[in-house]
Structure 1
Amino acid sequence: MKATGITRKVDDLGRVVLPIELRRNLGIEVADTLEIFTEGDDIILRRYNAVDGLLTMASRMKNRVAVEDCGEIKPILLDKLAEIEKIIKAEAVKH
């Protein structure tokens, strides 16, 4: 983790303002969505990437179908989920 030397106080509504220099350097724009993580006592903010979320969801669904007894529809479901993953990855490359 890289120290910035910047400090900010939490206001009475629990908000923290990210300094403009930091937002400019990281390319954070108005209305961008940030994910919030914790690690021990640390709070980590990361720009939300919807593609990563969709890929994770598709992968979890594929893994679930692989272990479930879905009968004769199982190969069809696995093929469709693989197809969805390919579409999501192709869209991510475009952007």
Structure 2
Amino acid sequence: MGRIVIPMEIRRSLGIVEKDALEMFVEEDQIILRKYQSSQACAITGDISDRNISLANGKIIVSPEGTELLIKKLQQYLLK
């Protein structure tokens, strides 16, 4: 098994913490490494859960907590 060490300063600046999943792929002559973003992650909180719901024909995924935050913000916006 091979290993790659990502310097701490780069991990901090990208918000990568221990146990975060990373994805690696090749694009032309470059190797690209980035923090894995699940297609089932909440657009607001980043949570991945079986309780997340899909809105707008799958374009937006929100967790129960994200839904509450979104509702509060929308209510504030509409009451202005």
TM-score (norm 2): 0.51
Partner of 1:25: 13
**Greater fraction of residues in strand:** 2
**Greater fraction of residues in helix:** 1
Q: Which amino acid aligns with 1:91?
A: V
In structure 1, the gaps of 5 or more residues are 1-12, 54-83
- Mark the structure with the bigger radius of gyration: 1
TM-score (norm 1): 0.44
In the TM superposition, structure 1's runs of 4+ consecutive aligned residues that sit over 3 Å from their partners are none
Task: Please give the per-residue CA displacement for 1:3-57, whole angstroms capped at 9, x wherever unaligned.
Answer: xxxxxxxxxx42110000100111100000111110122110111111368xxxx
In structure 2, the gaps of 5 or more residues are 42-52, 68-80
Partner of 1:14: 2
| Distance (whole Å) between structure 2 residues aligned to residue 39 and residue 52 of structure 1 | 24
Root-mean-square deviation (CA), in Å?
3.1
Asked whether 1:41 is paired with 2:13, we answer: no
Q: How many residue pairs were aligned?
A: 53
Name the SS for the 1:16 alignment partner: coil
Name the SS for the 2:3 alignment partner: coil
| Distance (whole Å) between structure 2 residues aligned to residue 16 and residue 41 of structure 1 | 18
